[in-house]
Amino acid sequence: MEVKIENLKKQFGQVIGVKDLDLNVRDGEFVALLGPSGCGKTTTLLMLAGIYKPTDGTIRFGDRVVNQVQPRDRNIGMVFQSYALYPHMTVFGNISYPLKLKKVPKQEQMERVERVANTMGIGGLLDRRPGQLSGGQQQRVALGRALVKEPDILLFDEPLSNLDARLRLTMRSEIKQLQNRLGITAIYVTHDQVEAMTMADRIAVMNQGVLQAFDTPEDLYDRPKTLFVAGFVGNPPMNFADVSVMAEHGGFTARNESIRLQVPAERGQKAAAAGKVRMGIRPEDIHVVDEGDAVTAEVVIVEPLGRDAMLDVRFGSDQFLVLADPQKHIRAGDQVKLHFDMDSVQFFDLQSERSLLWN
Amino acid sequence: MSKNKYHIIIPFLLPAVVLYAVFVMFPYGKAIYISLTKWRGLTPNPEFIGLENFQKLLGDDLFWNALSHNLIYLIFIPAITLSIALYLAFLLTHGKARFSRFYRVTFFFPQVMSLVAIGVLWSFVYHPTIGILSSIAGLLGAKEPIAWLGNPDVALIAVGAVVVWQAVGFYMVLFIAGMESIPVSYYEAATIDGASRWDLFWRITLPMLWDTIRTAMVFLAIGAIDMFAITQTMTEGGPNRSTDVLATYVYDRAFLKSNFGYATAVAVAMFVLAFLLSLLTMRATQRESLEY
């Protein structure tokens, strides 16, 4: 089922929750709504579910405008952050509840619940109460309840945030596989960018009720269109420094009082005319080198991450995060030489905060 | 160590135990003793007569009359009060009622008034000539003033209605607090699953409120066994003992007839009744406690 959101707006009194949102979700697509808390992503989801009525704009499921359609008539399945499993019903009671309300015959209820439960690997737990289940099992029951209706659209509201890290990893791929196999359109709200990046076909990044970008994970990461997206997507986050890009000696350089870096012509050209710009470069694109054309910086903090050591370095007035090989045994207070891999450098306009490269 | 432990525990425990013993356990024991005596309240030494008072009780029509009124209250007051309170609470939490704050305060108001004041107030409301109810009945075409509290067929209902009026607000507030602590995601999930408002009430609110409801049942049941203050101030058990309850009967036997031994036996019977009833209510309504 295709989902088309046009000009969607939601206002709570004076507070604007979602502002002029346009979003087209293709049939069978997995779309993540990503953003910090309070960005309007859950509000959007609840409008899709029909719990909230939009202040303005239209929501279409296929060709049908659903603004005034009751939640039960939208044929959606939803998985909540808290799972919202009815504590006084058994697992069977929970999964069969939507069918019961639809007055599906008893025999068919049993068959469908059993089928879904077996798919989710909870066939043996049907007599239990939610209180007797582990977090992962509850999650599966919640998914089962959403799926048993054979919905056109699946809505997820941060479904993995109550699970521990290891289980989250498993459930992530399970949900993705399931969605892929069933081909149900899925809209998935999360504040965890790793979740969004790994699961979604496309990610809608939101901030303060406004859609910032709607792109594939690769595009968001490599070609961020706004400063917010560049800073929000990626962990550890992108480093920023204000520089001027100038044409010199047949090439381009980005410079401020403490750095002076060669910029590839294709990117430098677009940034050169803009005067002072904000340069962005990801931590993995900065390398600690022993010698060569490099910037010297002082290490302020070292955070061992296992595979890498994350260095917080300072040069001039700029402070950057850099990933280094832990084998180098760098300590706080050391001086290091940094090489900037400028092939994936980003430039943003200071006023509009939009990318100078990708708009 | 274990010996030392008691050195510390006992001094902390003692004051509470002493107070409880002097002011609760001793009077209970004494009352049970007095119920086994013949005592007019004047002599220092009651005359022990064994179970004679209880024997007499079984054949006492006035005792059964009073008890029957308590039982009628017991059946109707909790059921009616709970239904109205639940309905109002659900309306004020889930309905789109305007001024819901105003209603909450207004409905709660009777709870802060003293029962005696309420009794006097309603005596005026029910007054056959100057009462507002009779005036309304007159406007609606009633030829003669209605003696709400003077008619043995109506008086019991009239008194019971006052108790419901007085209690509904409190239980409404109690249920509102309970309902507001139920996470909203259950309602959202059920709404998406296709539940109507009626389903939400029966399948979500009621089961999750169950612990609060059964506590309310016990309170209301105990209240229905008591009923002293309101009955005494409104009818004193009349007319013709048609609103007499066990507590007013105890009062009547003890302070009007100076028959303390027998009155205490009635009181002990009342205690046993209330105790069994609480036990029964809790047992019968026991469910697995829900955590959410």
User: What would the pLDDT profile of B44-53 be if each residue is shown by its tens digit?
Assistant: 888 888 888 8
Peptide bond into A217 cis (omega under 30): no
Average pLDDT over residues B71-75: 92
**DSSP assignment letter at A319:** E
Mean pLDDT of chain A: 90
- SS3 labels along A209-242: CEEEEEECHHHHHHCCCEHHHHHHCCCCCCEEEE
**What whole-number percentage of chain B has pLDDT above 70?**
96
Q: Given the structure tokens 């991450």, which residue do they identify?
A: A305
Average pLDDT over residues B208-227: 88
Chain A: give the shortest CA distance to residue B187, in Å.
9
| Euclidean distance between CA atoms A45 and A35, whole angstroms | 13
* Structure confidence at residue B127 as a pLDDT band (50, 70, 90): confident
Question: Is the per-residue pLDDT at A200 higher than 60?
Answer: yes
Average pLDDT over residues B136-160: 83
A235-246, pLDDT tens digit by residue? 889 999 999 988
Mean pLDDT of chain B: 87
> CB-CB: which of B183, B192, B292 is closest to A76?
B192
Collapsing DSSP to helix, strand or coil, B234 comes out as helix
**For residue B97, what pLDDT is reported?**
67
**Closest among B177, B165, B155, B154 to B81, alpha carbons compared:** B165
- CB–CB of A49 and B188 under 8 A? yes
Q: Which helix (H) or strand (E) holds A173?
A: helix A165-182
Average pLDDT over residues B31-51: 85
A166-194, pLDDT tens digit by residue? 888 888 888 998 899 989 999 999 998 88
**DSSP assignment letter at A299:** E
Chain A: give the shortest CA distance to residue B200, in Å.
11
* Structure confidence at residue B2 as a pLDDT band (50, 70, 90): low
Task: Enumerate the residues of chain A whose CB falls inside 8 A of the CB of residue B204.
Answer: 86
Strands (E), A51-192: 56-61, 64-65, 76-79, 153-157, 185-190
Higher pLDDT, B133 or B266: B266
- CB–CB of B291 and A87 under 8 A? yes
Question: Is the per-residue pLDDT at B94 higher than 80?
Answer: no
Interface check for A81 against chain B (CB to CB < 8 A): the answer is: yes
- CB–CB of A97 and B208 under 8 A? no
| Euclidean distance between CA atoms B235 and B159, whole angstroms | 8
**For residue A21, what pLDDT is reported?**
92
A85, A88, A104: best mutation site toward chain B, by most B Cβ within 10 Å? Answer: A88
Average pLDDT over residues A215-220: 92
Interface check for B139 against chain A (CB to CB < 8 A): the answer is: no
Task: Enumerate the residues of chain B whose CB falls inside 8 A of the CB of residue A42.
Answer: none
Question: Is the per-residue pLDDT at A93 higher than 60?
Answer: yes
Question: Is the per-residue pLDDT at A14 higher than 70?
Answer: yes
**For residue B291, what pLDDT is reported?**
61
Task: Enumerate the residues of chain B whose CB falls inside 8 A of the CB of residue A131.
Answer: 290-291
**For residue A257, what pLDDT is reported?**
84
Task: Enumerate the residues of chain B whose CB falls inside 8 A of the CB of residue A77.
Answer: 192
Higher pLDDT, A48 or B47: A48
A42, A52, A78: best mutation site toward chain B, by most B Cβ within 10 Å? Answer: A78
Q: Give how far Cα B164 sits from Cα of B125, B216, B223, Å.
A: 15, 13, 11
Average pLDDT over residues A197-220: 92
**For residue B112, what pLDDT is reported?**
87
**For residue A190, what pLDDT is reported?**
92
With a threshold of 0.85, tell me whether the complex ipTM lies above it. no
**DSSP assignment letter at B290:** P
**For residue B288, what pLDDT is reported?**
62
| Euclidean distance between CA atoms A22 and A14, whole angstroms | 22
**For residue A274, what pLDDT is reported?**
78
Helix ranges (H only) for chain B are: 2-20, 26-34, 52-58, 61-94, 100-112, 115-125, 132-139, 152-180, 184-193, 197-199, 206-208, 210-226, 228-234, 246-251, 260-284
**For residue A30, what pLDDT is reported?**
94
Interface check for A101 against chain B (CB to CB < 8 A): the answer is: yes
CATH 1.10.3720.10 describes domain B35-284: yes
**For residue B91, what pLDDT is reported?**
86
**For residue B137, what pLDDT is reported?**
80
Average pLDDT over residues B159-185: 92
**What whole-number percentage of chain B has pLDDT above 90?**
33
Task: Enumerate the residues of chain A whose CB falls inside 8 A of the CB of residue B190.
Answer: 86, 97
Task: For chain A, state the CA radius of gyration.
Answer: 24
**For residue B80, what pLDDT is reported?**
95
Higher pLDDT, B150 or A132: A132
Helices B210-226/B260-284 angle, 10° precision: 160
Chain B: give the shortest CA distance to residue A152, in Å.
13
| Euclidean distance between CA atoms A67 and A324, whole angstroms | 52
Average pLDDT over residues B98-116: 84
**For residue B1, what pLDDT is reported?**
52
Q: Using an 8 Å Cβ cutoff, are A273 and A336 in contact? A: no
**For residue B267, what pLDDT is reported?**
92
Hey, where are the domains in chain B? 35-284
**For residue A49, what pLDDT is reported?**
92
Interface check for A50 against chain B (CB to CB < 8 A): the answer is: yes
Task: Enumerate the residues of chain B whose CB falls inside 8 A of the CB of residue A78.
Answer: 188-189, 192
| Euclidean distance between CA atoms B274 and B63, whole angstroms | 16
Chain A: give the shortest CA distance to residue B292, in Å.
7
**For residue A10, what pLDDT is reported?**
92
Higher pLDDT, B69 or A359: B69
B94, B184, B192: best mutation site toward chain A, by most A Cβ within 10 Å? Answer: B192
Comparing A1-5, A18-22, A42-46, B136-140, which segment has the lowest mean pLDDT? B136-140
Q: Given the structure tokens 């989801």, which residue do they identify?
A: A45
- Single pTM value for the model: 0.77
Higher pLDDT, A275 or A130: A130
**For residue A141, what pLDDT is reported?**
93
**For residue A270, what pLDDT is reported?**
85
Question: Is the per-residue pLDDT at B290 higher than 70?
Answer: no
- CB–CB of A71 and B208 under 8 A? no
**For residue B257, what pLDDT is reported?**
86
* Structure confidence at residue A95 as a pLDDT band (50, 70, 90): very high
Chain B: give the shortest CA distance to residue A174, in Å.
22
By the 10 Å C-beta count (0-12 exposed, 13-18 middle, 19+ buried), A127 is classed as: exposed
> CB-CB: which of A76, A77, A80 is closest to B185?
A80
- CB–CB of A72 and B208 under 8 A? no
**For residue B25, what pLDDT is reported?**
93
Interface check for A88 against chain B (CB to CB < 8 A): the answer is: yes
